[in-house]
Structure 1
């Protein structure tokens, strides 16, 4: 009986969070997470932005030019971030969504990884935590943004945040589709990065530098994602038809 009551409580909590989140059209992610000293370390901030976009949110990074309504009133947007609960042997992350007053509207299940490589561990933990976002079924309700901002300001403060939790036993973490691109690609320097050309020659991908030497944001042929080096190999990860694809690249610098 206790288990049934707990399950009902979690389901009701998740529905409430979903209904509230659906009232907002925009979501803002930070350029630096609190548990890092560097901006966009491991490309994690960019990946988080892409992850929210995958589930239907209109996302901006802090510091970007915002829509006029958000620029004039920050309460017309939600604020998504990652929180670390890592230990000595594990990397663990939560995804949270808050309003402009810091009220927590959503908290994911904990994404956990035991991979020793920090970058890959954070990627795996983020993918596991992101599974919970599917349970939100986010879809902007079209509610007037001015009314939402007014509700946020006038609503009484709550000491216990609403929480949405998905069961890790029933939902498997997303695994990337593995693809191998055997074509030889040549890296040509451009401003802020490289362009990759094939034997044609044709530009197939542009890579832009980040704060990490072997991590790039990338765009090309209708795909947007990240390029990173793992061991002695290069990979391009992006979403295609709502599936994460990890494409191995053959790059010559």
Structure 2
């Protein structure tokens, strides 16, 4: 029995060590300015509290709306992505801190912080503080590693072109107004969204900045600029599109974006 207990103890210790070693490869952690389970940014000061907890144990923490350092701006996989998970029930507030890599793989989940305080602000504060304290178990120390830009077998991003056909060229020539013809352009190439001030920049695997998109008052809708094109990027039926005018024709380019 003692041998079995010792085996599992060594197994868990080895897993924790490997986990810590992976996290030591990262200098930066990026966290949102608003957690998904709240409607407003930094509710109860939890985002700041989570940031301070990570900084206490050695991480350099950035918000998604901050200007990114060059090594992260050119490679979103050069940072970890932090979040606060809410598992609260009717009588108990329960949260935990998670750290993921750029693919969404969870590298660390903190101890669940629990509080039975009746005041929501006090309860979330206490629970987050407890969860943050378990970051000490990582024994984090950045080792100076440089995370490589992820490779992909897809070719470089082609330039979208607009093509219009008209069997009656005479009518076209004499028309006083040019009809707007949307031209769909499928684009299966992977683009990585990197946070910038007031929006994102889309980077291919070169890495090259293909497009910059800026927030508007509408959700999932951005004004966009890139390669001499000005238009809008928006989400439709869970897919992203870049629309702009080219030679008086509306071009609708499908984008494969990974946030």
Q: Same fold (TM over 0.5)?
A: yes
Match of 1:68 in 2: 70
Aligned-pair CA distance for 1:43: 0.8
Match of 2:144 in 1: 142
For 1:141-183, what per-residue CA distance to the aligned partner results, in whole angstroms no more than 9, with x for missing partners?
01123x3x449x89xxxxxxxxxxxxxxxxxxxxxxxxxxxxx
* Equivalent of residue 22 in structure 1, options 14, 21, 24: 24
- Alignment length (residue pairs): 151
Match of 2:46 in 1: 44
Match of 2:59 in 1: 57
Match of 2:135 in 1: 133
Equivalent residues of 2:28, 2:59 under 8 A apart: yes
Equivalent residues of 2:53, 2:133 under 8 A apart: no
Match of 2:241 in 1: none
Equivalent residues of 2:88, 2:94 under 8 A apart: yes
* Distance in 1 between residues matched to 2:61 and 2:46, nearest whole Å: 15
Aligned-pair CA distance for 1:10: 2.4
Aligned-pair CA distance for 1:127: 1.3
Match of 2:82 in 1: 80
TM-score (normalizing by structure 2): 0.55
Equivalent residues of 2:78, 2:146 under 8 A apart: no
4+ residue runs over 2 A deviation: 1-10
Aligned-pair CA distance for 1:9: 2.9
Match of 1:11 in 2: 13
Q: Residues 46, 7 of structure 1: CA spacing in aligned structure 2 closer, same or farther, 3 A cutoff? A: same
Helix, strand or coil for the counterpart of 1:60?
Answer: strand
Aligned-pair CA distance for 1:5: 3.8
Tell me which structure has the larger Cα radius of gyration. 2
Helix, strand or coil for the counterpart of 2:67?
Answer: coil
Match of 1:120 in 2: 122
Match of 2:107 in 1: 105
Q: Residues 121, 73 of structure 1: CA spacing in aligned structure 2 closer, same or farther, 3 A cutoff? A: same
Unaligned runs of 5+ in 2: 154-259
TM-score (normalizing by structure 1): 0.56
For 1:42-86, what per-residue CA distance to the aligned partner results, in whole angstroms no more than 9, with x for missing partners?
010011111100000011011101101211221110011110111
* Distance in 2 between residues matched to 1:24 and 1:38, nearest whole Å: 29
Equivalent residues of 2:28, 2:78 under 8 A apart: yes
* Distance in 2 between residues matched to 1:33 and 1:16, nearest whole Å: 28
Deviates further, 24-33 or 2-11: 2-11
Aligned-pair CA distance for 1:32: 1.0
* Distance in 2 between residues matched to 1:3 and 1:34, nearest whole Å: 39
